[in-house]
Structure 1
């Protein structure tokens, strides 16, 4: 009987020490498509795994018709349920107006927070240089996906359509798993 009591107290102690479930985000794929190669093209679009714990995303878009003064971005978050289905967010924002006042749209500001420290898209229009998303790490995304606004576990797709002068110019699809 005393062995069972010891096991019971060891189990209770273990459960009290493990009081938090840890989730982890990992990139699984990225696809960048230019829909108008006379307007823009992707010089780089890849995931790089430095080691088992550090993986990052790098994107460089060459703009051929600068300055760009009219840009909209459509963001769609999808979760895999027998194919990728819409999940929570599908928003379109005028990027030039948004960058003048990022706090005006809380949802878009949340997604913009994924980029602010890793991109040169941190100023208002016009855009007259190539766009760079530099070393956005899975650890950084993990922090935003689990601590700032927790999401349930699963496979996700963040699809962004970049619309300049009312014409869809590029599509970026970022795939990841939250486990």
Structure 2
């Protein structure tokens, strides 16, 4: 959910309830899209094994994305996961500060992600962002 505390402080929280525990095989597919007469692919469409990535972060793009949420989540260990997955109070100003360092043209963007457990799609998480100068 999104929470707007005041004009300058907004945050996102997410809780994913896991029903069959423990989960030992997780894959994530995400794509960066830019809005231009609808959302069109822009730069990245990556699928990775989350368990392997948490063991040894080797993809630089995924590493930047994980750095954004690392301090606000309980995804701080490798597989197996035997608890719910939580992202708590991810501050929009913090995200904007990190993303402003990246060379993106201004515009509307979306990050579409699909989360797989045992190669079965289990969740879709879509995040919409606006980059301004």
Please tell me the TM-score bracket, short chain as reference. over 0.9
Which structure has the larger Rg?
1
Identify the match of residue 31 of structure 2 among 76, 79, 89: 76
Runs (4+) off by over 6 Å:
none
Q: Secondary structure at the match of 1:113?
A: helix
Residue 58 of structure 1 aligns with which residue?
A: 13
Identify the match of residue 176 of structure 1 among 126, 129, 133: 129
Residue 119 of structure 2 aligns with which residue?
A: 166
Q: Secondary structure at the match of 2:123?
A: strand
Residue 144 of structure 1 aligns with which residue?
A: 98
1:28-67 superposed matches below 5 A: 46-67=1-22
Residue deviations 1:78-114 (CA, integer Å, cap 9, x gap): 1101101111111010000000011x11111111111
Identify the match of residue 130 of structure 1 among 61, 81, 84: 84
Q: Secondary structure at the match of 2:71?
A: helix
- Computed over aligned residues only, the root mean square deviation of the Cα atoms, in angstroms, reads 0.8
Residue deviations 1:117-138 (CA, integer Å, cap 9, x gap): 0100111000110000111111
Q: Secondary structure at the match of 2:83?
A: coil
Unaligned runs of 5+ in 2: none
Q: Secondary structure at the match of 1:139?
A: helix
More helix by share: 1
